[in-house]
Structure 1
Amino acid sequence: MPWLSGTDPALSLLRARSAEQEPTTEALGAIRADLGLDAGPLGLLGQWAAGLVRGDLGTSWVSGTDVLPSVTAGLRVSLALMAAALLIALLVGSALAAPTLIRQRGTSGAAAAMVAALPEFLLSTLLLIGVGVWLGWLPTSGWTGPAHLVLPALALGIPAGGLLGRLVADALPAVMEERWVELWRGAGVGRGRIAAAALRRVLPPLVPQFGMVSVGLTGGAVAVETVFAIPGLGRTALGAAKSQDLPLLQGSVLALLALGLVVGALSAVLRRRLLGPALRDAALTLPAAHPVRVPPAVPVALAAVLVGVIGWGLLRDPYAIDTAARLTAPSPGHPLGTDALGRDVLARLGHGAASTVGTAAAVCLLSYVVGLALGFLPNVAAGLSDIANALPPVIAGILVAAATGPGAGGAALAVALIFWPPLAAHAAALAQEVRASGFLPAQRAIGAGPLWILTRHVLPSVAGPVARHAVLRLPSIALALASLGFLGLGAQPPSPEWGLLLDESADYVERAPSAALAPAVALALLAALAVSLSARGDGRTTGPVHERKKVSPIAV
């Protein structure tokens, strides 16, 4: 990837080893000779593959040590963290699904949706400030005992538990409306036994989703391990990407892939055991879930608060430095305090919205164009969609950063690569519905050509609903970009991008917590807005403009 991007690996490694050393021809030549870079990417890849057969993952380009011990040590730490996070996720998911199971009727699921929407890097920062700094109950960094495991596991497990709880809570109402439940109730079967049977009915189709949630913990672990300074595999991969240490990055990604394969295999085995021999080969699926219902005033209120704060901040200078007013508390002159250079936090928050939301809008437009185009080519998009869906934004950002280096452009590319599949699926469903409509044969009968039908009938019926879907995903895209900025893979200083603001303020959170809380609260409001807009968009997409009929809900 570095060779394809035009980046000189020797120059990147020289900067990683010593930022002060001049990139002279002799220095770069020594690095190429030492690491055998003159063999080119294919030659190096062949050498690495040959060593892989012998159990050798190569030697780190930066430290000169063997990669395998580093990957193994990081994997052990990450597995312990993920196991604890998975336990918390199951507890949180059970608590969120319990009301639906007990009442045996549908609920809004808004609480589960909100919990699931919390980004791990944001929740990590809030736990660090609230529980670690203000209350002082638990350690905030390191990996030396069980106490150091609690906050990271909570930050990683709570959003995953929200997603698991929402999956179960959304599926249970449809199961409770099935014929067998009515028959059991008529026969006098108790509520507890019906609830247990409904839960068993729900789990098999959802087990693969649970497996994907487990694999998704690897992406969240990168941010969590970085916030709490945990020497896990995610943090190792992030450091390797920033320094373009390709052998260490390849070993880390290989371990993550192996972990995903193992979890996928275990999910398949568990699903087969739950189904039993009679249903093992049946396509057991669940009816469409009930959408989350959010009052229309909620997204309007959230957007109004964000726009108000951003507008206030845009009236101030985000780059004015006042060293005499470093890390000051909120005051009339600085309503949200100042940062480590004395810059006004409110001003940087307001101007950072242009960087965060503006880039998100560009990514949204690109995802819309790609999704719309591939929606008309479902056979071509199927395999690409599966790959993009399985890739967390953080992992995509790490891979792109390995090729292009950290930057706003690389972060935008990484997010765009994984946000188009839902739009493509939506476009494909609408295009299929339009093609099955009764008016198309009539158009052909009067002599309309394929291009006329495509541009005058099919495309207008698909482009509008998919565009509205893309706009609903704008807050989620902004959160993904902020997560990459928080990890140092996105916009670079002195940009006031929100994720970068949160990362910079984490270094002095004990002295000026308000500077960290400002971008954290803004991102939390953005997450709530993403949930509200997604809920308002569930099942509201209209079908072809000629027939005005509803289509099946597309998962947002």
Structure 2
Amino acid sequence: MWRAALAAVLVCGIGLLPWLTRTDPALTVLKARSADRDPTPAVLADIRAQLGLDKGPFALLGEWLGGLGRGDAGRSWLSGDEVTPAVLQALGASLLLMAAALAVAAVTAALICARTLWLGAHRRLDGRRPGGSGSAVLAALPEFLTASVLATVIGVQLGWLPALGWYGPQWTILPGLALGLPAGAVLGRLLDDLLPGAFAEPWELAAAARGLPGHSIARQAVRRCLPALLPNTGLFVVGLTGGSVAVEQIFDIPGLGRTTLQAALAQDLPVLQAGTLALLALAAAASALAALTTRHLAGPALRDGSLSSPHRRQPPAHSIQPFLHGGLLLAVIAGGLPRDPLALDTTRRLQKPSWDHPFGTDALGRDLLARVAHGALDTLLLALAISAAALATGVLLGLVPRLSGPLADTVNAVPPVLGALLVTAVTGTGAATPALAVGVVAWAPLAAHTSALLRQERAALHITATRGLGAGRGYLLRHELLPAVLPSVTRHALLRLPGTALALASLAFLGLGAQPPSPEWGLLLAENQPYAERAPWAVLAPAAALALLGALAVSAAGGVRRPRRRALTRTAAMRIEQALPERELVKAG
């Protein structure tokens, strides 16, 4: 009921979108149909009569909802075609693209975790946490940049695979790679974060003593960690469908994300509402499938309290990688701050890197080192603030999974651009609009991760023993549950920091925040993308800075560990002994 209510509120809010933004739907539809036609009062009145806009938003919404029971989602305001067949066709294309992306993500995650699995299977982890700079770079790569490089190099220059269109399985490879590589890097890092704790559990010692082969132990370790990972996998499934707008645009794929975006920009409400409803249904199905798979993998362990926690023993992480990555990023910023990021020199357009311009110049002759350095301040500070707020919100909502689960699924099903349009309709345009739009959805994967880890931690034996000694809910939450899950969720938030920075800048590029000549990193990528073939350094400079930020975030996350459990003092032990009868003390062990 909670999920259905959220879906109804979202669909009704979309139905009121033109009136909330105080724009004339007839004028928007006219521009989408024919940009050259003059918007005379007679023409606008004719469009209002055709679409029934004079009836008001609530009458239109009621008619649309009444048609859903008959399988009729109305007709498009732009083309006049039936909406249901078009949305189902777009959903089919998105599902095929999603399957290809998930296959790539699974292979990528397996490669990232291969070293940890091999060391754990041969009992050679020894408390060491493998590095993850390569996966951080993959996770920080913008999807549209990866798609552009793959389409240009492999599709056009080398001609190995088709780069445009949607005509068969071969056309799914390049877009599947563009979407699956970053998603697989994030999922691989999350799984790699859980594996050392799984290999340190008592079952691994018993399995090794019994003589089970290493590959069997490694397979069981993966199965042991999957219940904590599946909720985020379900969110990725929906994100790959609704959030793949840029990839669908580059490869000319008629997917659901692209269809929904075009309908949102043109205010084609029947298509927009039907597309959003399809995304919400997909989110509900993915969440239900993840929950069923989690219950199947965990079996009765979550109910009878026989499940141990994979977060009881955090391996130490002593590395100089954070200092190296942070030093390089600070050196780039310090080297570019004294330079002018707005100085134009058209005689030096798209020049290669040199002593005068270490990162080269852009299409207007501006120094790229200066623009990357000056853009780092605003981009990093705002991304850090949003990530911190998302972490706090995700942890708090993760404590109440019955509330946050459906809410996270609903929020995650909304494409980022549509979310930005809804935020703009409520708050108006301004510098805070991108931050609000990104912050509204940034907490969802962290809340899902928190809920999954807490579910396992509550079933651990040491929690049962502590509860038997008389500990209340507040004590368990402060001293047992939160210290066990916060390090992993914090590492997850740090891993998403580069994506948050890119999402902020990409929304600003769409007109919902800062505009050129602002040197934000996402704007630099989007502005220089058309010149990637002639001047690859113009794109590589901000992309390298973003990848360096990802490597810094992941390497710094390795130092976030669970604090050591404080020993029980004699006074506390005497208080417990006085508070509990002798029979309960014996029963609690």
Bin the TM-score by the shorter chain. Answer: 0.7 to 0.9
For 1:26 and 1:219, locate their aligned partners in 2 and report how far apart those are by CA, in whole Å. Answer: 38
Structure 2 residue aligned with 1:452? none
Of 125-134 and 478-487, more deviation after overlay is shown by 125-134
Instruction: Tell whether the 8 Å contact from 2:51 to 2:77 is kept in structure 1 after alignment.
Output: yes
For 2:335 and 2:58, locate their aligned partners in 1 and report how far apart those are by CA, in whole Å. Answer: 53
For 1:418 and 1:347, locate their aligned partners in 2 and report how far apart those are by CA, in whole Å. Answer: 31
Instruction: Tell whether the 8 Å contact from 1:5 to 1:403 is kept in structure 2 after alignment.
Output: no
Of 348-357 and 39-48, more deviation after overlay is shown by 348-357
Equivalent residues in 2 for 1:5-16, closer than 5 Å: 5-16=21-32
Aligned residue among 115, 118, 142 for 1:99 = 115
Identify the structure with bigger relative contact order (alpha carbons < 8 Å, sequence gap 6+). Answer: 2
Aligned residue among 186, 194, 215 for 2:209 = 186
Deviation at 1:210, TM superposition (A): 3.4
Change (3 A) 1:102 1:323: closer
SS at 1:60's partner residue? coil
Deviation at 1:205, TM superposition (A): 5.2
For 1:19 and 1:274, locate their aligned partners in 2 and report how far apart those are by CA, in whole Å. Answer: 55
Deviation at 1:517, TM superposition (A): 1.5
For 1:193 and 1:162, locate their aligned partners in 2 and report how far apart those are by CA, in whole Å. Answer: 24
Change (3 A) 1:531 1:27: farther
Deviation at 1:69, TM superposition (A): 3.0
TM-score of the pair, normalised by structure 2 = 0.72
The answer on 1:383 being equivalent to 2:388 is: no
Structure 1: state its 5+ residue gaps. Answer: 439-465, 544-556
Q: Which amino acid aligns with 2:352?
A: A
The answer on 1:263 being equivalent to 2:283 is: no
Structure 2 residue aligned with 1:463? none
Instruction: Tell whether the 8 Å contact from 2:129 to 2:196 is kept in structure 1 after alignment.
Output: no
Structure 1 residue aligned with 2:75? 59
For 1:56 and 1:11, locate their aligned partners in 2 and report how far apart those are by CA, in whole Å. Answer: 26
Aligned residue among 178, 182, 200 for 1:155 = 178
Spell out, residue by residue over 1:216-247, the C-alpha distance to the aligned partner (whole angstroms, 9 max, x if none). Answer: 32244223223333221112222222333222
The answer on 1:78 being equivalent to 2:100 is: no
The answer on 1:48 being equivalent to 2:64 is: yes
Deviation at 1:73, TM superposition (A): 2.4
SS at 1:102's partner residue? helix
RMSD (Å) for aligned C-alpha atoms? 4.3
SS at 1:33's partner residue? helix
TM-score of the pair, normalised by structure 1 = 0.75
Q: Which amino acid aligns with 1:33?
A: A
Aligned residue among 164, 180, 200 for 1:177 = 200
Q: Which amino acid aligns with 2:331?
A: G
Structure 2: state its 5+ residue gaps. Answer: 1-12, 455-470, 477-488, 567-589
The answer on 1:534 being equivalent to 2:534 is: no
Structure 2 residue aligned with 1:454? none
Change (3 A) 1:284 1:4: farther
Deviation at 1:49, TM superposition (A): 0.9
Deviation at 1:415, TM superposition (A): 1.0
Equivalent residues in 2 for 1:495-534, closer than 5 Å: 495-534=518-557
Provide the identity percentage.
Answer: 48
Instruction: Tell whether the 8 Å contact from 2:497 to 2:550 is kept in structure 1 after alignment.
Output: no
SS at 2:56's partner residue? helix
Equivalent residues in 2 for 1:237-248, closer than 5 Å: 237-248=260-271
Structure 1 residue aligned with 2:460? none
Deviation at 1:189, TM superposition (A): 3.4
SS at 1:142's partner residue? coil
Spell out, residue by residue over 1:152-176, the C-alpha distance to the aligned partner (whole angstroms, 9 max, x if none). Answer: 1112222332344334433333333
Change (3 A) 1:499 1:385: farther
Change (3 A) 1:342 1:113: closer
Equivalent residues in 2 for 1:89-488, closer than 5 Å: 89-103=105-119, 104=121, 105=123, 106=125, 108-111=129-132, 114=136, 115-128=138-151, 131-132=154-155, 137-204=160-227, 206-274=229-297, 287-289=309-311, 295=318, 297-360=320-383, 363=386, 371=393, 375=396, 383-384=403-404, 387-388=407-408, 391-392=411-412, 395-401=415-421, 404=424, 409-420=432-443, 436=474, 475=498, 477-485=500-508
Instruction: Tell whether the 8 Å contact from 1:339 to 1:515 is kept in structure 2 after alignment.
Output: yes
Change (3 A) 1:132 1:499: farther
Instruction: Tell whether the 8 Å contact from 1:476 to 1:530 is kept in structure 2 after alignment.
Output: no
Spell out, residue by residue over 1:419-468, the C-alpha distance to the aligned partner (whole angstroms, 9 max, x if none). Answer: 35659999xx9xxx999579xxxxxxxxxxxxxxxxxxxxxxxxxxx999
Of 234-243 and 110-119, more deviation after overlay is shown by 110-119
Instruction: Tell whether the 8 Å contact from 1:375 to 1:424 is kept in structure 2 after alignment.
Output: no
Spell out, residue by residue over 1:263-301, the C-alpha distance to the aligned partner (whole angstroms, 9 max, x if none). Answer: 33333444454456x669556756234668665643333
